[in-house]
Amino acid sequence: MNMPFTKYQGTGNDFILVDNRNHSFSEISGEEIKRICNRHFSIGADGFMLLNQKEGYDFEMKYFNADGNPGTMCGNGGRCMVRFAYDLGIHKNSYHFLASDGEHEAEIESGSNIINLKMKDVPGYQEVDGDFIVNTGSPHYIKFVSDIMDVEVVKKGTEIRYSEKFAKEGINVNFVEEKEADEIVVRTYERGVEDETLSCGTGVTACALVCHHNEVGYNDVTVITKGGKLVVRYDRNFDNSYSNIWLCGPAEKAFEGKIEIEIKKTTP
């Protein structure tokens, strides 16, 4: 059957988005998702998403990694999904949608392509041998480096992601270089893609939280990725938790089309 799709990107993190409000594509297999996310033989993307109807929400975001497996929260994907919803005619001043890690809010800045996405509160971070682990809807390992553009991200990221501690569930691996008190550079190896991506929204958020420049109170961190610039705004609380976290940056339509897919109906 033919499946209409639209491809979006947020700072180079790209996704295949499908309007599934009529449930036509709910039974798409992980094998098919993996096939169409392949950059050499099909459309190519870092992830695949279905926009579903959900009572009490503007929509539900169903996310899959490029390997075809169901994914956890994707920050750039969430921002692209909001832009997709708007382009489908779901026009709102603010959006309220459901993702794998719960409820989210989002806003589109008037007259621009900037999407502001509210992330889940984060209770804190774990320190491991001078590195950090933070869950921002997806788990992230954070390592500080100098000369970040010289880091072998895929080699080093693979070593950590497939180490004994993380091999079973997987973890995203972020390398961070601090430029200023409120500016950092981030490169990310993403599980499910098993490669470096140009940007990772939950990873950028995790790194910005660890790089707070105010011990308590409001923080505003600019994050440079290979795909562009994002801003993370948040409150750091007295108990070292984080709240009112917003991931802000561009989300843009790349192109749209149709692709022939196979849906294997399950027998009740």
Which of the residues are catalytic?
Answer: 74, 200
Q: Residue 95 in contact with residue 80, Cβ under 8 Å?
A: no
Enumerate residues 6+ apart whose C-beta is below 8 A from 188. 153, 157, 172, 173, 174, 175, 196, 197, 199, 200, 203, 204, 225
- Report the 10 Å Cβ neighbour count for 177: 17
3-class state of residue 167 by DSSP: coil
What is the dihedral sign for C-alpha 90, 95, 100, 102? Answer: negative
- The amino acid sitting at 127 is E
- Tokens at 190, concatenated: 């993403």
Q: Which residue shows structure tokens 């959900």? A: 54
Three-state SS across 1-35?
CEEEEEEEEECCEEEEEEECCCCCCCCCCHHHHHH
Enumerate residues 6+ apart whose C-beta is below 8 A from 38. 44
Three-state SS across 189-223?
EECCCCEEECCCHHHHHHHHHHCCCCCCEEEEEEE
d(CA 25, CA 48): 12
d(CA 95, CA 4): 24
